[in-house]
Structure 1
Amino acid sequence: MSRELLIREATASDLEAVVALHGADALGAHGDAWTPDSRTDYERAFAAIARHPDHTLYVAEAGGEVLGTFLLSFLPGLTGRGALHAQLRSVQVRADQRSGGIGARLLAFAEAEARRRGAAVMELMSSMRRVDAHRFYERHGYGKTHFGFKKRFGPA
């Protein structure tokens, strides 16, 4: 990639592009789409993230285009003598930009921020269908240590 990549906190003006990244994700299949009907839902969710000091939505941009995103959250716990856990969620790189180093840059940025905040561990979940993503995370030192379970309470 010849353009300089900037990783920064997302702003409300990034929301449409972030939602488009998630909407283009065939494996995730969350049905995300920026529409007149859904816009207020995404704006409300972003406002909740933005006002909480333990959650930050980030974007990776180059040339004014959003090419990637992730949500970084911090969770206190009692295990590990009260260790702070960082949780990496909703990681996306635009399909035409994958395998170009953006994912590695996002991961390195998130890890540096987690260390800066004093986290003892970084956790992430990845769909069982994302075999390529699993290999990517393993190459970057992440191990498969748990099974994840999910129970839906509504349409989301």
Structure 2
Amino acid sequence: MSPGASPAPAQGAVTVEEARREDLPAIVSILARETMFGVRDSADPADYADYERAFDAIAADPRCTLYVARLEGRVVGTFQLILFHALLRHGALLAHAEAVQVDPDVRGKGVGSAMMEFAIAEARRRGAGSLQLASNKLRFDAHRFYEKAGFEKRLDGFKIDLAAHG
């Protein structure tokens, strides 16, 4: 190994890193496979420009970072980390994890745990006072997973679909 080079990840190890543009097809494929609440995302090439625009907007925003999890080099999970200041808690920097998704074929193999460990460490490294995320109230398995990862279920959230309420 050359000086300053990192050792290769162990076989079966999950790595988390900032998403690259070439990861976009794999990310969209994972999002499109989540159909618990109907079809909201699409891997149809006709829709790809929407995802490219979103990727570019996220990449241009210093408050947002899109990450991927890799297992043996393959993208198997994704999430977005958003940091923002609030007036509460004396102007605290807060972090929010959004669009946390793991490829259904590899659930239970430590991908979600690696992503949440990374998100917590990264939010802490960047000075956030807390990390929160939202999960649909019907995703009971996800709730158990997040509680096991150290999150406390202490908020009730509300949402309005603005596209449906024109």
- Using the TM superposition, give the Cα deviation of residue 29 of structure 1 relative to its aligned residue in structure 2, in angstroms: 3.4
Say which SS state the counterpart of residue 65 (structure 2) adopts. Answer: strand
Structure 1 unaligned segments of length 5 or more: list them: none
Q: Is the 8 A contact 2:11 2:72 kept in 1?
A: no
Say which SS state the counterpart of residue 131 (structure 2) adopts. Answer: strand
Q: Aligned in 2, Cα 1:35/1:26: closer, same or farther, shift over 3 Å?
A: closer
1:38 aligned residue (29, 36, 47): 47
1:85 aligns with 2:126: no
1:17 aligned residue (7, 26, 48): 26
Distance 2:85 2:52 in 1: 26
Write the mapping of 1:7-156 to structure 2, written as runs, cut at 5 A. Answer: 7-154=16-163
Say which SS state the counterpart of residue 101 (structure 2) adopts. Answer: strand
Q: Is the 8 A contact 1:60 1:68 kept in 2?
A: yes
Q: Aligned in 2, Cα 1:139/1:72: closer, same or farther, shift over 3 Å?
A: same
- Using the TM superposition, give the Cα deviation of residue 68 of structure 1 relative to its aligned residue in structure 2, in angstroms: 0.7
Stretch of structure 1 that moved more, 84-93 or 1-10? 1-10
Say which SS state the counterpart of residue 15 (structure 1) adopts. Answer: helix
TM superposition score normalised by structure 2: 0.87
* Displacement over 3 Å in runs of 4+: none
TM superposition score normalised by structure 1: 0.93
The C-alpha deviation readout for 1:39-77, integer Å capped at 9, x for no partner, is 111000000000111100000112331111110000110
Structure 2 unaligned segments of length 5 or more: list them: 1-9
Distance 2:98 2:37 in 1: 12
Say which SS state the counterpart of residue 127 (structure 1) adopts. Answer: coil
Q: What amino acid maps onto 2:157 in structure 1?
A: G
* Equivalenced residues, count: 155
Q: Is the 8 A contact 1:27 1:129 kept in 2?
A: no
- Using the TM superposition, give the Cα deviation of residue 2 of structure 1 relative to its aligned residue in structure 2, in angstroms: 3.8
Distance 1:17 1:98 in 2: 16
Stretch of structure 1 that moved more, 140-149 or 49-58? 140-149
- Using the TM superposition, give the Cα deviation of residue 150 of structure 1 relative to its aligned residue in structure 2, in angstroms: 1.1
Backbone CA RMSD of aligned residues: 1.5
